[in-house]
Structure 1
Amino acid sequence: MMPATDWEALRPTIVTAVGETLLMVGATIIMGGILGLALGVLLNTTRRGGILENRVLHTVLNVLVNIIRPIPFIIFAAALGPLTLAVTGSTIGAKSMIFPLTIASTFGISRIVEQNLVSVDPGVIEAAQAMGASPWRIIRTVLIPEALAPLILGYTFALVAVIDMTAVVGAMGGGGIGDFALSYGYRRYDWAVTWAAVVVIIVFVQIAQFIGNALARKALRH
């Protein structure tokens, strides 16, 4: 029979793990979100018939996204180890894992952005062009605002994926709630700790989904 879990002793550890997860998720969704938005806009606008049509650039970017996006994250993060070390000075710890998390999320988000921008009515863009609007102004005042609600839902999906990825990096010494579940739960056969980690992840995901849905509804009303 396994001894009872000493939650009092584990409390500082789980608080630290939650903080590390929030740090990784927050930094990744901000940096990856911005870079992914820029890349997604480029993918959309440089395609055939786009306002910045450039078939060579579009092909290069499209192939790059298609190569990187399907790679399982744990393999991608491991392969990126030398570059992570060069950039951050380490390959372990929450701060170091932000780098591969950001790179991976950038390519995932870019495809989400591109797919949502495709749904914008071409007539609206043509009307803006007819009025003499520059490509940058069309992107800023027409393209993104017209797709705002689905973009919010897409970013919510990406945020949930990032939460999942931060749990995965626990297996690579990345810290966070994944490392807590493995080190203090799975490896010690303490299933109560493992399930506590599961509950924390579920809470994170539910909060993210609730906020994302609320923001999308607000965007639709406007």
Structure 2
Amino acid sequence: MSPQIFELLVNATVETLYMVGLAALLGTLLGLPLGVLLATTGRGELLQNVAFNRIAGVIVNATRSTPFIILVVAIIPFTRLVAGTSIGTSAAIVPLTVAAIPFIARLIEGAIREVDRGLIEAAEAMGATPLQIIAKFLLPEALPGIVLGLTLAVVSLIGYSAMVGAVGGGGLGDLGIRYGYQRFLPEVMAAVVLVLIVLVQIVQSLGDLIARRVNKRAIGGR
């Protein structure tokens, strides 16, 4: 591999990390509270609001069921409104975030629903308010599952970021398409795939490690 190609690979990796990192952060900031609301506003739940729960659920399901590459094209006007352009690394963060929010929300909802109902009943018996139950009981108890869910979300975003390269989003996907496919350089394509695999392995291993440590603390604190 020539020094020029190696430099392009490094720059593309940095762009991918930038896209995925910022999209994961924004997706978590918006998806976490949405997931909590989805888990706690159903019928008979702590913050019961059936109308909100159903409407939010429909929107989340509709977004999640849309193939990512179609979502990227469908929200181009919104991407231009937010980023000022629909092409480039910064612009790619918009569809990545839009895709991440409902995905993370459902993962958070699932993690919270796995918490033993007896814990909620015990907290209610102690006079805790719904918000106190969520903040001091549900979220800490669900934290290992939340960490694993967020790890899965980041891994998925790495894959999505490669797809964004097909529409001028930059990063490793763009490098693989422009140099590996269009210029018939199989070694570039192989290098891109290898870097993506390494990134996924690092993220998954780190997520598993954090989840184990959080789970041990949760068990030790009981």
Shared fold (TM-score, shorter chain, > 0.5): yes
Residue 186 of structure 1 pairs with residue 181 of structure 2: yes
The aligned counterpart of 2:137 is 142
Q: What is the SS of the residue equivalent to 1:221?
A: helix
TM-score (norm 1): 0.95
The aligned counterpart of 2:127 is 132
The aligned counterpart of 1:159 is 154
Q: What residue ranges of structure 2 are gaps of 5+ in the alignment?
A: 218-222
Segments ≥4 residues shifted beyond 6 Å:
none
Residue 210 of structure 1 pairs with residue 205 of structure 2: yes
Letter in 2 for 1:121: D
The alignment's C-alpha RMSD in Å is 0.9
Displacement after TM superposition at 1:188 (Å) = 1.0
Q: What residue ranges of structure 1 are gaps of 5+ in the alignment?
A: 1-5
Residue 30 of structure 1 pairs with residue 13 of structure 2: no
Displacement after TM superposition at 1:173 (Å) = 0.3
- Measured against aligned partners, the alpha-carbon deviations of 1:96-116 in whole angstroms (never above 9, x if no partner) come to 111111111001111111111
Kindly report which structure 2 residues correspond to 1:82-121, keeping only aligned pairs within 5 A, or say none.
82-121=77-116
Displacement after TM superposition at 1:33 (Å) = 1.2
| Identical aligned residues as a percent | 45
- Measured against aligned partners, the alpha-carbon deviations of 1:120-161 in whole angstroms (never above 9, x if no partner) come to 111111221222222222111111111111111111111100
Q: What is the SS of the residue equivalent to 2:78?
A: helix
Residue 21 of structure 1 pairs with residue 21 of structure 2: no
Letter in 2 for 1:32: G
